[in-house]
A and B are shown apart, each in its own frame.
Chain A
Amino acid sequence: MTLNRRKFLGTAAATTAAALSAPMVRAMGKPRVVVIGGGAGGATVARYLAKDSKGALDVTLVEPTRKYYTCFFSNLYIGGFRDFESIGHTYGKLASEYGINVVHDWAVGIDRDKKIVSLAGGYALPYDRLVLSPGIDFVEGSVPGWDISNQDEMPHAYKAGSQTQLLKAQVENMREGGTFCLVAPPNPFRCPPGPYERVSMVAHVLKAKNPTAKIIILDPKPKFSKMALFQEGWAEHYPGMIEWIGPDFGGANVEVRPDSMEVVVDGEVTKVDVCNVIPAQKAGRIAEIAGITNDKGWAPVVPATMQSRMDENIHVLGDSSHQGDMPKSGFSANSQAKVCAMAIRGALLGSKVFPAKYSNTCWSLIDTDDGIKVGASYEATPEKIAKVDGFISKTGEPAELRKATYEESLGWYEGITKDMFG
């Protein structure tokens, strides 16, 4: 028997668990579910498990931050349509009203044989079912010249919080007539319309404060989400300000130089003033540590239950999962969480299991009262989560409809955050 990392962590965890046994008496005999990650997938699944099992499950939610800032609507904060606090949420209700054990710590190891999660603070959490909803991590080296140590000079702002604040400040303080550059990621990535909504929001700020500024988007993809709608909106609201450079013109051959604030496109060096680098993405690190990711870095799941294809005791939600046709979005993670909660209750408590139904809608804001949306419904087939039906806003829609779409997105934000955090 070799002592590998997993075994070692497992032993350490077992010892800690024994030392902790006294405070866990309360949970004795109840099936235990541990959820890692308190975002749209994790907070929702924890809440639904606790609410619908009416105390029959012991639910623990592990999330490092005490205040969670939603990635969705963080672009609206950059554009000045929301204040920062309005996208921040705490876990108080999940603990007090739903009886969830909320643990603010990093999960650093998973022993799949012993079914124990170890935390950075030294604690260990045994589980009967584990749900991983850790969001994304970045693929190292995907943007030559950039790594995570450059995030102060060239922010990614693709995990909401201080990075979002930094990017907003950089945009607002950009020199007059300066250049904002966004390096867009390759597919698949979190929030497909996200980079393009971000450009819209940056343009909205610059139009008012710095109207001679320019925006360039360096994009390795030949097309992007809601492309026609964004391009129509940019031409209407921000004429001449935004230049999109696709792969035909070097968008896929990009290097960045954070020290000199330069970008190199197909060998040609351009000086920029603010550079938002959104690297290629993969599942959150804990999924990789658990050993349930594929060669592309995502965690394949069973479409009907969101169980890992590599471990039936682990479910994976949201951005980290490799499931089929659903985009990586907060709405998708929230939708998957409800199917997952039902499947877990069915497995651990024998409650009724109904057919999986999934859905997603992504709203984006182009300018004041100009909202657009795209969405679809999905079902579970043996191979993948497959699209059933969908819709998208149309170009040339009347302003009144766009305004209603934006107002609808405000309603959705209130709805989904209450669905996540109670």
Chain B
Amino acid sequence: MKKLRANLLPWLVAVCFAQAAGATDIGDEKRGADLFRKYCASCHQIGAGAVNRIGPHLNGIFDRKAGSIEGFRYSKDMLRQGADGLVWNFENLDVYLENPRSLISRTRMNFRGLKDPQDRADVIAYLRQFSANPADIPEAAPTALPSEHVVPPEILAIKGDPEYGEYLASECLTCHQRSGADEGIPSITGWPVEDFVVAMHAYKEKKRPHPVMQMMAGRLSNEEIAALAAYFETLGE
């Protein structure tokens, strides 16, 4: 803990100075907002009313223990890092965003990382606005999932048959691992049903680009997609 405090101090000092000067030297939060929408918002919400989706909400991430939001299903490695004392700050967020697995080996966050230090600094500056101290969380609406695809409510309302989903899922599990491990092919376990359904319909209608997924989703009926979503939601670590 002592060490962490020591690491945090210079940065906190820098922020205080920046605040005093009426500007921030972390990065450009407006540019960070655009980057967040582009790279992060398909899984994470942030802002007033933000909730956990594929990834946990990011309000108050600064000074938060890793893997500590109740009700969110983290990877074992993330939980272990939290238990070992990892608390999110500028430095480790910067490392994590550059290459998530360099910090958390088997994280469920399927993200290749931001290679440009300026990009990372801008995203972190944006995230910083939503942590309580010193700024209050702005009263803006949460950044929603990007509206890449709209699925009619009657399709979202279909209750999937998990037994059928288990059989259909066997086809997915040739590539996507049941354990949620991601080694070149994304993890699809433990997703909220709605996110899963929206993603599959986006592939089905070729709004998302991957050819294998377009083909696999292309022949699934609305009921089959609902069945898969119901099954995969139950699969977790």
Contacts and interface: CB of A to CB of B under 8 A. Distances in A.
Interface of A: 48, 52, 331, 334-335, 338, 342, 352, 354, 357, 359, 361, 373, 375-377, 379, 388-391, 407-412, 414-416, 418-419
Contact of B167 (A335, A354, A388, A407): A354
B185 to A, nearest CB: 3
Contacts, number: 80
Say which size band chain B's interface belongs to. Answer: 20 to 34
B216 A359 contact: yes
B164 A419 contact: no
Contacts of B215: 359, 375-377, 389-391
A116 B234 CA distance: 40
A409 B184 CA distance: 7
Given A373-B212, A377-B215, A411 B171 contact: no
A317 to B, nearest CB: 14
Contacts of B171: 335, 338, 357, 359
Given A388-B219, A391-B214, A407-B184, 14 more contacts: A335-B174, A342-B167, A352-B163, A352-B164, A354-B168, A359-B171, A359-B174, A375-B211, A376-B215, A377-B216, A410-B183, A411-B183, A414-B183, A415-B177
A280 B125 CA distance: 63
Contact of B174 (A354, A373, A376, A415): A415
Contacts of B183: 410-411, 414-415
A361 B182 contact: no
A391 B212 contact: yes
Interface string B163-196: 1101110110111111101111100000000000
A415 to B, nearest CB: 5
B184 A414 contact: yes
B174 A412 contact: yes
Given A354-B164, A357-B168, A411 B219 contact: no
A377 B219 contact: yes
Contacts of B60: none
Interface of B: 163-164, 166-168, 170-171, 173-179, 181-185, 211-212, 214-216, 218-219
Given A415-B173, A415-B176, A419-B173, A361 B184 contact: no
Contacts of A377: 215-216, 218-219
A412 B173 CA distance: 9
Nearest to A379: B219
Nearest to B167: A354
Contacts of B181: 414
A360 to B, nearest CB: 9
A16 to B, nearest CB: 35
Nearest to B214: A391
7 contacts: A354-B167, A377-B218, A391-B212, A414-B177, A414-B184, A415-B185, A418-B178
Contact of B184 (A52, A359, A373, A408): A408
Name which of B166, B174, B178, B215 has the most chain A CB atoms within 10 A of its CB: B174
Contacts of B218: 377, 389
B189 to A, nearest CB: 12
A407 B181 CA distance: 14
Nearest to B166: A52
Contacts of B176: 415
